[in-house]
Amino acid sequence: MGWPYVGETLQLYSQDPNVFFTTKQLRYGEIFKTHILGCPCVMLCSPEAARFVLVTHAHLFKPTYPKSKERLIGPSALFFHQGEYHNHLRKLVQGSLSPDTIRKLIPDIESMAISALESWADGHVINTFHEMKKARKRLDQILGEIICERKEKRLLEKDLLGRFLNFNDENGQILTEDQIADNIIGVLFAAQDTTASALTWILKYLHDDQKLLEAVKAEQMAICEANNGEEKSLRWTQTRNMPLTYRGKSISYIRLIMPLNLQVILESLRMASIISFAFRESIIEVEYKGKDMI
């Protein structure tokens, strides 16, 4: 179970999480106890066990997160709730991420991506620990200012923040500023690590297949040339017309077996899990393969 309070968190995150789980599984089997992120837990490490918890007996469990994550994100984020509150917020988030909404954001996304890449040019090192400690307070302040500005100017935007500000339930209840801030940060939290992990694996797999990498680069350069370099912004239709960037595991496989049928991005997501594990809490005493989970 590891050290007091920290448990085995350091062992988990100081190496590849898959190595941590594999080592435990080989030693103790597919079910074992551990203590990570400030809470004791039972780990289930097989497809059958995952199916038991997430599918066939999902009604016996509820989504949960360690208190440390709840404090980091904010207690009002939809991840930490169930019922009507969760359902209302989930619909608001999903509505803000529809294809029509994303289509309008393509130029902004491109601009932010280019800006981020240019900021890395000098190769400076960032102390992520201290930066992360300050980030939560900065986010609260920034979001508070944006919310106040939207309210004062009565701006009716159709983005995620706008949907939160305009929401009221069947009883006329609106979201508080704390609830709005927690859920905005929650969405950022959910997207940050998963997107970064997915991009890391995509780059890794492209690096391992030089032929595919060159083909993808050529495809992107063709789009860049069509836009006269950086004079024109990337268009939605162009993002839908990237057969190699969005498809294929290897050039030989594409050409000889299933041309343009396997998708690079989706294949990378299939091959490498971007989420190491999911937390669930049993709502009653549950037995699985002779072991109790409470």
Residue 126's CATH number:
1.10.630.10
Report how many domains make up the chain: 3
Per-residue pLDDT tens listing for the chain (294 residues):
677 778 888 888 787 777 888 888 899 888 888 888 888 888 888 888 889 988 998 889 888 887 878 888 888 888 888 788 888 888 888 888 888 888 888 888 888 888 888 888 877 777 776 777 777 778 888 888 888 888 887 777 778 888 888 888 888 888 888 888 889 988 888 888 788 888 888 888 888 888 888 888 888 888 888 887 666 777 877 777 777 665 544 444 433 333 333 468 878 888 877 777 788 888 888 888 887 776
Per-residue pLDDT, 247: 54
Residue that is last in its domain, among 169, 194, 219 = 194
Domain that holds residue 125: 69-194
Same domain, 129 and 217: no
Same domain membership, residue 186 and residue 214: no
Match 């024109």 to its residue by tokens. Answer: 232
Residue 107: predicted pLDDT: 86
Asked if residue 190 and residue 242 are part of one domain, the reply reads no
Rounded to the nearest integer, the mean pLDDT of the chain is 80
Strand 31-36 to 291-293 pairing: unpaired
Domain assignment present for 289: yes
Give yes or no: residues 145 and 251 share one domain: no
The answer as to whether 188 is a domain residue is: yes
Of the three residues 138, 162, 194, the one that is the final residue of a domain is 194
**CB-CB contact of 293 with 282 (8 Å):** yes
Question: Do 37 and 102 have their domain in common?
Answer: no
Residue 157 lies in a domain: yes
pLDDT confidence of residue 38:
81
Residue 257 shares a structural domain with residue 235: yes
**Same domain, yes or no: 75 and 157:** yes
Dihedral (C-alpha) 96, 274, 214, 253: value to the nearest 10 degrees?
Answer: -110
187 and 113 share a domain? Answer: yes
Which contiguous run of DSSP H or E holds residue 60? none
Query: 200 lies in a domain?
Result: no
The answer to whether residue 2 sits within a structural domain is: no
> What confidence score (pLDDT) does residue 244 get?
66
pLDDT at 9: 86
In a domain, 201, yes or no: no
Residue 260: what pLDDT? 34
Cα separation of 272 and 250, whole Å? 16
Which of 168, 194, 220 is the C-terminal boundary of a domain?
A: 194
For residue 167, being part of any structural domain is answered with yes
36 three-class SS: strand
Predicted model pTM = 0.70
Determine whether 27 is exposed, middle or buried from the number of CB atoms within 10 Å of its CB (0-12, 13-18, 19+).
exposed
Q: Is residue 284, in this structure, part of any structural domain at all?
A: yes
Residues 78 and 187 in one domain: yes
Predicted local confidence at residue 110, as pLDDT:
85
Same-domain check for residues 265 and 168 = no
**What's CA 123's distance to the chain center, in Å?**
26
Cα 150 to Cα 140: distance, rounded to the nearest angstrom: 15
Q: Are 280 and 61 in contact (CB under 8 A)?
A: yes
My answer on whether 86 and 98 are in the same domain is: yes
Clarify whether residues 77 and 190 are in a common domain. yes
